Amino acid sequence: MNGSAAMRVGIIGVGLMGHGVAKNVVARGGFPLAFLDHPGNQPVDDLIGLGAKACKTPGEIANASDVIILCVTGSPQVEAILTGETGVLSRLRRGTIIVDCSTALPDSTLRMAAAVEAAGGRFLDAPMTRTARHAEEGTLNLLVGGDEADLRSVRAVLASFTENVEHVGPVSFGHRLKLLHNYVSIGFMALLGEAAAQAAEAGVDPAIFVDVLAKGGGAGVALQRMAPAIVTGDVGAVPFFIGNALKDISYYQTMASHSGASKAIADGVGAAIAAVVESGHGQAYISDLARLFRKTKSAA
């Protein structure tokens, strides 16, 4: 592969997270960028104005790229993008490194890594933590699984949109750690949402509720993120759909089942969030659980 300054980067998935990644790859990193033209993208006029090129198929992205970043919803999408009829593997160039920043099932990750390597490429699973705001600011964190030499090859690209890049083990360990992280994060927010709903039903002042938690064992990042929704009803601080939270919890449950680990609490969190999704609120932000867990008509 050529030096990092000459690396051609492709990205598939220019959504809430991927847009910021794409913008920083081309604007901060100075890398030539190709992106998949897809109806799920955020507006891309700014990317085109920066010189990015739209491609019609994942295969076209593969033909034009030395590094390909995936920022899609989950394992079914990753598998379709890589192995579909016009997928990445249909036109993969030898030595291309796939960097999967999606949240995926570790077993699927291992299968896809093997398929990429069989086609002559390399694979890193590098899921993101933090939010869409951090993606736009170029301060995401990545949990990277895979070969350290492959990571070194693409560090300059990853540096353009990250603050911290941590190598956490072999292929699939990035996704394992991401599912553990999201289970804890989503679980904390679900617990806080349910507690906030109970407090509201009892007539507790929401500001006092948050203050008491913040001064004791309830303090932490989850409370900071949920506080605006609890106190003022502002749910925009955590732009993460409840439907996606349910997907992540279900992935965690699957991973735990395969390992034989206990998942009793995860099952409870999953059931609570599933009920909200089934009631038609899958596209609400997760911080809105403080309202959606309430039972009174005034909270509807």
DSSP assignment string, 260-278: T---HHHHHHHHHHHHHII
Q: Which of 4, 46, 40 is nearest to 24 (CA)?
A: 46
State how beta strands 128-129 and 9-12 pair. unpaired
- Amino acid in position 269: V
Residues acting as catalytic residues: 178
CA distance 211 to 60: 53
CA distance 50 to 30: 10
Beta-ladder partners of 12: 70
d(CA 30, CA 24): 8
